[in-house]
Structure formats: structure tokens, C-alpha cells
Amino acid sequence: MIGRLRMRNVPPLFRCSPYIVATTLVLHAGSHANADELASACTVPRPSVLFNRWQEDWSVLANPCVPVKPLDGLKYIPLGSDPDSYLSLGANLRERVEINDAPLFGIGAGHPDTYLIQRAQVSADAYIAQHFQFFIQLEDARAFGKDAVSPVDKNPLDLEQAFVAWVGHLAGGTVKLRLGRQEMAFDLQRFISVRDGPNVRQTYDAVWADYENGKWRFIGYATQPVQNRDVSSFDDVSNGHLTFSGVRFERQDAGPGDLSGYYSLYNRSNAQFLDATGDEHRNVFDLRYAGKTGRADWDVESMWQTGHVGSKTIGAWAVGSLAGYTLDAPWTPRLGIQIDAASGDRHPNDGRVETFNPLFPNGYYFTLAGYTGYANIIHIKPSITLKPSSRLALLAAIGFQWRETTGDAVYQQGNAIVPGTAGHGTRWTGMYAQLRADWTIADNLIGSVEAVHFQVGNSIRSVGGSNADYVGVELKYGW
């Protein structure tokens, strides 16, 4: 077939850890295949439910030899005689029970809390021949029994995605365009993500264009990130008060790995930092190199930020890295090390804002507990991952954290400031232990359990903070 509206390196639906990576191959059988080709097509695995539902290709069901499963009539609804013109329906459901005995390390309103967060999504995906795609997805996110409900916890029925896409060819390459509300993510989603860890995913009202030719890919995007509101249904909004736009390149096989980078302009009205308030205009320069050779793998990303907040200039940076080595032993153990650092504001009232802005992080890069965020931090985390079977992955890790500077605060997810920590105490923040299990119960159903114990340092304890424990039990289903 000429061209599909797909991206390279598509992650599976249930990816929720940078340590557990899988790939899915979706193949298409033509409607005019001969008998041998049909027989071969019947041995091809059926399409899988993917992390991005709009990247699925259910046109294989046009082949009459593919075994029929219940509700296949809703996964492939022909639109005319062209097998590449069809409508596909889908649904996701995620249920997670969380126990957090000390949100915000027990400071202020951070009381023990046990609650259920639920995210339900339904989608419709229409393809017209090989060039047009129309995708719509609704989301309903609820938090049951949670004491402090934030915009990332609850969002009654609303429009998650609604875009039209087109694919064509130019100068030996492929051109792809998307217009409308859509999700967007780069690399490991350290800084630009769909925010899958929390309950409400991040979307963007955007124009997206990319050109792919051989090992190169060039992308341009102009977006207004969607701001979630939970007052009523269909009340989410985007506007010029928050924009994020830029250009990006990707190069496969640059030596033993893949190279990518981007420049973006982040604008936000009425931003507030410890040392500055006002309109934020932030230039973002990002470079990443990731790959695998033999049994070793790595992912290294750096970001530099300039610009201004009000009348004060920005000078902030961050570095993130993951590396591992997989042993040739039972349960294929992978020994990993994660090292991250992000700047903080060293000198108050000096006319500079050095606090790193993590932009749109995924919410689970460190842990699901969200005890610390990607600002004013130095983080070292050794880990081991075991796979007793192809359907079960086990992770154990210990994390050590410091502040990059004592002049700035300790930050949690969403750049929430731990009260009283700015300018006080030592750089040592604390350490944590993390255990996680991911079990693929069935092809479209996965269960996960994660437990985190955070042992705070004296800088947090001296302002009334305490050790914190988190347990999350999750089920994800995709149809």
C-alpha cells in the first residue's frame, strides 16, 4: 500500500515504564492476493491495541481468511468497495487504586489518602483510501474518594482528540499533515508527553506536519496546549495564553544509535516562580541520542532554556540519561542506571530565573508516586529488571536525590513547591525504594502494581515533612 498515517517506533498501549519496552508489527494483506498470499496472511498476528489508538491498522480484517473474533464487525466497518476505506471503533478503560500516606510529605493538607482514579475513552477512526484519516476520541476521567482533586485527576466527559490527517508523497519521501486536537510526545516523554501517568492526558490544539525520507524525518508544529477544566462536560479550552511551537529533526542510524533534536518556543501568561512573576517566554533547545549495541542500551537527553519571565532573564538546563546492560542469564536481568539533573534558582533577586521548567512531563519518569519533579534536582537511580516470562516484568530500584542548589525549593510533580524548603537546609533531599510488576493478563489486559517508600532528608523533615509511602494497583483494558 502507498502510505499509512503512521509514525515510526510505535509504543504499545500499556507502556508505563522507560525500563519495559516492546514493539508491535502490523501488516496489511491486499484484497487481490492469490491463494498462497492469503494463506500466509492468515498466519500474521492480528493488529494490536496501541498506545496511540490512531496509529492502529485494522484493514487486515478485509482479508476473508483472517479468523473472525467477536465484535470484529466494529473494528473494521467498510466504507465502500476500497478495502483501505473503513471505520474502526475502539475503547480504553484504566482503573487505578492509589494509597498515599503522605502527599506533599505530609506538610499542610498532605494527609493520608486512599482513592480510585478512573479513565474511560472511546474512539472512532475513519480512513478514506490511502490518504485521509479522521479520528475522534472522547475521554471521561474521574477521581473517587480523593481528598485533593487537581486538574490532572478529574475531567468529566470531554473531547480528547479530534483531527483530520493527510498523507502524500514528495521528492521520494512521505508528507504527513494533522490538523486539530491531538496528542503529542517526543522520545521518552521526559519533557513533551501525553501525560499518561496521571489520570487526565495532555492534548494540544495543533497543526502538525512532518516529512520522512529514508533515515531522516523533519517535523514542524504549532500548538495551543489544552487546559483541562472539570466544571462540566466539554469545557476544556486552549488559547493564546499558553502556546508551544517549534521544529524537530530525527536521524536513524547515526552511528550505533538514533539522533534527534528540536527547538521550541514556550509562551505562558502570568507565570509564577519563586523569584519571578509575569509573562513567560522560554526558548527550548533539546538534543537526544539513544540506541543499543549488543546487550547495552542507552538514552541521553539534554535541554537548555533561555528567554524571560517578566523582566527577568531565563537560564536553565536539564540532563536525563538511562543506560543498561542485559545479562545472558535466566529471567534476562537488565542492570540499569538512571542519572538526571535539572537546574534551580541559585540566587534570589539577581534578575535571573534558573529554575528549570519541565514543560509537559509524563508523570511516571521517576515513579508513579510523584513525590519529586524534574526541577532543581540531582537524581541517581540504579535498578534491575527481571522477566520471568514474556508476560511478566519485575523492577526493583533505589533512587538518591539532592537539590541542585539550596537556594531553590524541593519540587514535586507539576512543579508543586514543598513549602518552606527554598533557601533552607542542605542539598540532600532523600532516597526512595521502588518495586513494580507488570503482568500481561491477556492480549488487551494488563495489571500493574507499584510500591514506593520515600525516606526524606533533614531539609524536608525540618519543615514538618515525613517519610512517605505509595502503593498503586492498576488494570488497563483496550479494545
Q: Dump pLDDT digits (tens) for 308-348.
A: 999 999 999 999 999 999 999 999 999 999 999 999 999 98
Q: How far apart are CA 59 and CA 87, in angstroms?
A: 9
Question: Cell numbers at residue 410, please?
Answer: 524541593
Cβ(143)–Cβ(135) under 8 Å?
no
Going by DSSP bridges, is the β-strand pair 86-100/113-128 parallel, antiparallel, or unpaired?
antiparallel
Q: Is 430 left (phi over 0), alpha (psi -120 to 50) or beta?
A: left
Instruction: Provide the pLDDT for residue 32.
Output: 40
Amino acid sitting at position 475: L
178: pLDDT strictly greater than 70: yes
Question: What confidence tens digit (pLDDT) does each residue in 425-479 have?
Answer: 999 999 999 999 999 999 899 999 999 999 999 999 999 999 999 999 999 999 9
pLDDT digits (tens, 9 = 90+) for 230-270: 888 999 999 999 999 999 999 999 999 999 999 999 999 99
Residue 104: phi and psi, rounded to 5, are 55, 30
Say whether pTM exceeds 0.85.
yes
Per-residue model confidence (pLDDT) at position 38: 47
First to last CA, the chain: 25
Domain chopping of the chain, boundaries: 35-478
Q: Which residue has the higher pLDDT, 105 or 4?
A: 105
Average of per-residue pLDDT values in the chain = 90
pLDDT of residue 44: 66
Q: For residue 130, what pLDDT is reported?
A: 87
Mean pLDDT, residues 187-206: 95
Q: Please state the length of the chain.
A: 479
Check residue 142 and give its pLDDT: 96
For 117-139, the pLDDT digits (tens) are 999 999 999 999 889 999 999 99
Beta strands 445-456; 173-182: pairing state: unpaired
Inform me whether the pLDDT recorded for 1 exceeds 50.
no
CATH 2.40.160.100 fits 35-478, yes or no: yes
**Residue among 274, 473, 474, 468 at smallest CA distance from 371:** 468
The pLDDT assigned to 408 comes to 96
pLDDT per residue as tens digits for the range 8-41: 444 444 444 443 333 332 223 333 444 444 445 4
